[in-house]
Amino acid sequence: MTADAEPTEGATRPRPCHAKLLDELESHARLWAAATTPTTTTGSGSATAEGAIEWKQRGEGGAWSLAQDARLATFLHEFSIHAQRRASEVAASVRNLEDKARRVATSVESANAAFAIRTDEAFVEQRVRELRGTGGRG
């Protein structure tokens, strides 16, 4: 079993450092989405496409701060590094699996060749014994 295998039942894996920030950003996004509701204008058909749906923001959903942007940038940076690291690990695992599959295929081919050679050798040896038993007469 490798070190990156799934934990057994009852064992807990430590959460990545950015998981808390991700949870916080997700809950913030959900609150903002819940606070904004689409309001459609139903007129006599004279509403333009831009005026057909008007988004109203309630509460702190529309509040912006440089600190939130900085936290988001930090999160995205950490998340992209984590995703890149995981992708590299998966690619390395796939390469290792391909190498193992090639080694197994080579072993199978070698075994088949060895059996074919042994079959030919047994046949030749059997023919030689038969010839020796008959005194060399064909």
Bridge partners, residue 38, by sequence: 55
Placement of tokens 């831009």 in the chain? 50
CA distances from 107 to 54, 84, 115 (A): 67, 34, 12
Residue 47, judged by CB atoms within 10 A of its CB (0-12, 13-18, 19+), counts as middle
Percent of the chain exceeding pLDDT 70 equals 53
**What is the pTM for the complete model shown?**
0.41
Q: How far is CA 6 from the centre of its chain?
A: 14
pLDDT tens by residue, 74-100: 889 999 999 999 999 999 999 999 999
pLDDT at 62 over 50: yes
Distance CA 78, CA 28 (A): 19
Alpha carbon 30 to its chain centroid, in Å, reads 26
Tell me whether residue 113 is exposed, middle or buried, using C-beta atoms within 10 angstroms of its C-beta: 0 to 12, 13 to 18, 19 or more: exposed
Residue type, 122: A
Q: What are the tens digits of pLDDT across the range 99-110?
A: 999 999 999 999
